[in-house]
Structure 1
Amino acid sequence: MTTNAYLSFLAIGVALVLIDGQVIYRSGRRYLENSYGDPAAGASMTRLVTVLFHLATLGVLALISTINLGGSDLPGVVGRLGVLLLILALAHAITLGALARIRGEQEVEAVVQRGSRPQPRVDPELQAPTVTPVPGQEGRYPDVSPSLENRSPYSAP
């Protein structure tokens, strides 16, 4: 591969990585700001994940640039770009998974910090039934409703 083909692959690859990283950063910042009470904290977490994405994918780009794919310049560049795009898709999915996990942990933390509200204790005997008992079934809480065809509890044929 000639120097021009090598440099064009690196330029296209770096542009793809930077564009994808910016998409992740901007979308991830809005995604995490909604779950954090402090928008700056959500932006900070997104920045950390995006920096990791950039470092990993630029490292992979450097490694792919050294692999010999194809004899001439154009097939070699196209082959490398194809491999790079597949790896970018995988890295993008992993990054989205990391952002989703961070948001899930933030939501759990918010629920824990709010604390559970004490529920008033109600004696089960004084509480009204949650469903109306079906004729022919014993107790206040029937197990199943009768089927519409047979007007009896569900059964296997």
Structure 2
Amino acid sequence: MDTGTVYYLVAGVAVIVIVGRLLAFSGKRYLAGAQVSARERESAGSVAQLVSMLFHLVTLGLGALLAAIPFGGGETTVFLVRIGVLLILVALAYAVALRMLTRRKQEEVVSGFDAQVRELRNERQHPNGYEVSNDPSAGMAPQPRREPTLGEPRPRP
């Protein structure tokens, strides 16, 4: 193994580890938001760690495969090409990871909204279990049909 490949592997692993740790840290803060409980913060941290681990595994694997591909040219040129391709691959993997975190955040927002709607619907009910409504006929039993008296005209069928 030549020195250029060793330098590439050291630099590539350093970049991948730094970006992956930043992804885990900022992903946890992004998912947790400002007003969350300790349980939600733990859940957000777990999801961010899983996404970060996936990022590390994929990018380290791509970096290793890139080290095995022979490039023509001088040692410096090969190093720069490998680092350039690795940075582009890391950026693409980071974008995919951010998309995963954003999808998770959207699911949390929707489920929180659903919970608020359910809570508001429960508040609209009286303690006796009847729902409050603006409709004056709501909750009333259907009235039986009344037969017309002698002075009223009969409805036509």
TM-score of the alignment, normalized to the shorter chain, above 0.5: yes
What do the CA deviations read for 1:55-99 (whole angstroms, capped 9, x no partner)?
Answer: 000000011111122322110010000100111111111111110
Separation in 2, partners of 1:113, 1:69: 56
Q: CA RMSD in A?
A: 1.8
Q: Does 2:101 align with 1:67?
A: no
Q: Counterpart amino acid of 2:29? A: R
How does 1:1-157 map onto structure 2 within 5 Å?
3-34=2-33, 37=37, 38-114=40-116, 115=118, 117-118=120-121, 121-122=133-134
Larger radius of gyration: 2
Amino acid at match of 1:54: H
Moved more, 7-16 or 104-113: 104-113
Q: Percent of pairs identical after alignment?
A: 34
Letter in 1 for 2:45: A
Q: With structure 1 as the length reference, what TM-score do the two structures score?
A: 0.71
Gaps of 5+ in 2: 125-131, 136-157
Relative to total residues, which structure has the larger helix share, 1 or 2?
2
Change (3 A) 1:36 1:108: farther
Q: Greater CA deviation, 107-116 or 11-20?
A: 107-116
Tell me the matched-pair count: 122
Partner amino acid, structure 2, of 1:84:
L
Q: TM-score, normalised by structure 2?
A: 0.71
Structure scoring higher RCO (CA < 8 A, sep ≥ 6) equals 2
